[in-house]
Structure formats: structure tokens, C-alpha cells
Amino acid sequence: MANGEGSSARLRRPAQVAEAIKSLIVEGGLRAGDRLPTEAELIDRFQKAKSTVREAMRILEAQGIVTTRSGPGGGTFVAAVSSERASALLANYFYFQNLSIEEVYEVRRALEPELAASLAGRLTDLQLDDLEAILERYPAAPKTAEEEREHHVASLRFHGKLAEIADNQLLGFIIGFIAKILTDLTVYRHLYKAPNEALWREGREHQRALLAALRSGNARAARQVMRSHMTTAQRLMEAQAAEVGKRFIA
């Protein structure tokens, strides 16, 4: 498990203990749900003060790899890091970066069509209906900036849903992450320009066509439609002149 500090930096005691506990997990081959020694045992084993051990636990908890419960039968347990947690931690990194729309879309243009192609013909009717439902929630063109924002969030949810369904966990995570930061950006953005109806209509046509291609199992068409959709989406975003980066977060 990665230690997260530059290996040169001298670690303070809580961080040292946290590393030692990580070793217990890795060396011991512990899996999600497995129990770690109690606080008292750890204090005894490492010969450290209670607060030191507790700070170590907070470090591991912040990273999402353990959870703690009090009470009998409680204790500290190994946890599989959730994708939500991983996304949130990664978002902190980009908080300090200032991504441009162009940067985000260069990645989307490369990945989303692949995901679409890989999913063609592999979705259940239930999943297809879910996707359809997302589109149906906003059948009319947005009239106000507020409506435009809701449309955009719904559209991103569509992509987030595709990401969840992905067989490829890495691809799914990345696409889901991008949908998340674009959603946060959209939600917390307060300056809007007038909705661009032509672009909206074009985007909507693409999503319909995409759904049809996914349903019929036409991977080539799905890839092609998603490619066009990304181009349109990028133009929509740029038309809004939003800036990604600082302030895209909760």
C-alpha cells in the first residue's frame, strides 16, 4: 500500500504508527471487513501513548482504508476504499490545479467513446430504462439559466451512470470522476450565460442516438455518436465560459 509521504521525509510518530498498521494489513493479507487489534493492544504493541495511536487511526480513516466502531464487538476494521472516497481525495488535488475545459475534454473525447463502444449490446433492459429516464426528465429545451443548469447536471448523471455500469473499473472510475468534477462545477457556478438552444438540441439528439446504438448493440455507432456528443458538449461548456478548477468543489 502506498505510504503517501515522500519516502525521504521523516515521519512523526502517528504517521509511523499508521505505516506500521498498514504493514499489518498488507503483510497479513487482511481483506475488507477484517478486524485489527484493539486500541489497547496497539498501544501495548507499539508502546505508544493512546493519543498517538488514535491519531494514527485518524490518518488511516481519512485515507478510507479503515473504519472504527465503538462498543463491544466494535474496534477497527479494514475497509475497501470506496470510489466516492477516492474521488473526493482526488478532487482535492485538482482543487489546486485550475483545469481548463479544453484539458478535461481532451480526456473525455479519448475515453467516453471507448466506454460507449464497450457497453453496446451489454446493457440490461433495466439499465437502458434508467438511462432513458434520465433523459426524459428534461424533454424540453431549457428556458432559463436555472433550467439549463439542471439539464446539464442530468446529462452528467447520464455519463456517471454509464461509468458505474462499465466493466472496466479503471475506465469507469476516471469517467465517473470527470462527471463528478463537472457536476460540482456546474452546481456551484453562479454565473450563467443564456442557454444555447441549438447546441442543446444537438446534444439531446446525440444522447438519443447513443441510447439506440447501445440498445441495438452497434458498438461502432455508439463510439461515433459519443465522439460527436463530446464535441458538442465541449462547445456548450465553452459557450458558458465556465472555468474549471478553483471553486469547483463543495
**Where along the sequence are the contacts to its own copies (CB under 8 A)?**
1-6, 14-15, 18, 26, 32, 51, 54-56, 58-65, 80-97, 99, 102-104, 106-107, 110-111, 114, 118, 168-171, 173-174, 178, 184, 249-250
If we measure between CA atoms, which residue out of 66, 53, 63 comes closest to residue 17?
Answer: 53
Task: State the cell numbers at 246.
Answer: 478553483
**64 interacts with, out of DNA, its own copies, none, CB within 5 to 8 A per kind:** its own copies
CA distance linking residue 220 with residue 107, whole number of Å: 20
Number of chain residues interacting with DNA (CB under 7 A): 23
Minimal distance, residue 34 CB to DNA, in Å: 13
6 scored as a contact of DNA (CB under 7 A): no
Collapsed DSSP state (helix, strand, coil) of residue 63:
coil
Amino acid (1-letter code) at residue 92 = N
**40 interacts with, out of DNA, its own copies, none, CB within 5 to 8 A per kind:** DNA
Q: Which is nearer to DNA, 20 or 91 (CB)?
A: 20
How far the first Cα of the chain sits from its last, in Å, is: 28
Q: Which is nearer to its own copies, 38 or 97 (CB)?
A: 97
Minimal distance, residue 177 CB to DNA, in Å: 28
Alpha helices, DSSP H only, in 122-168? 125-136, 145-165
**76 interacts with, out of DNA, its own copies, none, CB within 5 to 8 A per kind:** DNA
**Strand locations in the chain (E):** 66-69, 75-78
Strand partners of residue 24:
none
Please list every residue from 29 through 88 that binds DNA, using CB under 7 A.
Answer: 38-40, 48-52, 54-55, 57, 68-76
Minimal distance, residue 15 CB to DNA, in Å: 8
| Count of helix runs (H) and strand runs (E) in the chain | 10, 2
